[in-house]
Amino acid sequence: METAGRTLLGLGALGLGVISLLYADFAITWQPVPEWVPMRAVLAYASGVSLTVAGVALVANRGAWIAAAFIAAFLSFWGIVLQAPKLIAGEAAAWLAPAEILAVAAGAWTLWVGASQTAFRARAVQLGTTFFGLMLPIFGVAHFIYIDFTASMIPEWIPYRVFWAWFTGAGHIAAGLAIVLGVIPRIGSLLLALMFSSFVLLVHMPRVIANADNRTEWHLLSTALLLTGAAWIVASAIARSTSPKTDA
């Protein structure tokens, strides 16, 4: 599971990095970056190069722990500092982008500290998985508030799209509670990772194929890959921590 999570996290970072380089801009799904940020184009290129290198390192599993540490730090800064003005201004749905960014950061943190050999490793991993779980109810609430938009993202060939929008929203909340409260966290995190994987396969990949020249769709796919990778990393960490201990 961790290998799948690391690879998907890397593909998502690689996708955002390449798009940033192509458009000389930051991730469109997490905009706007505050106007006070100087040299936006230069920083966008730097962001693109950094994410591309980190993505390749994760996919190739060469220096992956360094790449995970970078993504955790970079996205934490992005989610807290760069998104704060929108939250303070009370913009509509301003809480959703930081939740997505920080959930991915929590997954990257979990991957990074999970590879360490320090005495606080177990507590650090638990911190990452718990913080990831705390973000999930925010996604669920967003499904309910914007139910029509959520339903419109579901492919037309799937019947009862509004039902599935409600169902997946409830799934986010249930998984978050399972992880945070430690109530069947292994099952909850695994089902969440499978649900996120289905979003990539059934929703985002077909939309990219149908609109290959649409920048937003590529951003949405990359973000979905990041979240899915983080979910598999968290599921793997929880599976390890809840596995029965056996004597040698």
Residues 6+ apart with CB under 8 A from 63: 57
d(C-alpha 39, C-alpha 111), whole Å: 32
The answer to whether residue 248 is domain-embedded is no
Residue 191 predicted with pLDDT over 70? yes
The answer to whether residue 89 is domain-embedded is yes
The answer to whether residue 124 is domain-embedded is yes
Helix axes 215-242, 2-23, angle to 10 degrees: 160
pTM of the model: 0.91
Residue 146 predicted with pLDDT over 80? yes
Q: Provide the pLDDT confidence category of residue 246 given band limits of 50, 70 and 90.
A: very low
d(C-alpha 57, C-alpha 11), whole Å: 10
DSSP code per residue over 206-247: HHHHHTTT-HHHHHHHHHHHHHHHHHHHHHHHHHHHHSPP--
- Three-state SS for 78? helix
What is the average pLDDT across 205-215?
A: 93
The answer to whether residue 162 is domain-embedded is yes
The answer to whether residue 207 is domain-embedded is yes
Q: Return the structure tokens found at 123.
A: 């507590």
Q: Which pLDDT score is estimated for 116? A: 76
The answer to whether residue 120 is domain-embedded is yes
CB 217 within 8 A of CB 204: yes
Q: Percent of the chain having pLDDT more than 70?
A: 93
Q: How many domains does the chain fold into? A: 1
Q: Which pLDDT score is estimated for 82? A: 73
How many degrees, rounded to 5, is the angle at CA 223 between CA 222 and CA 224? 90
The answer to whether residue 247 is domain-embedded is no
Residue 42 predicted with pLDDT over 90? no
Domain carrying residue 163: 2-242
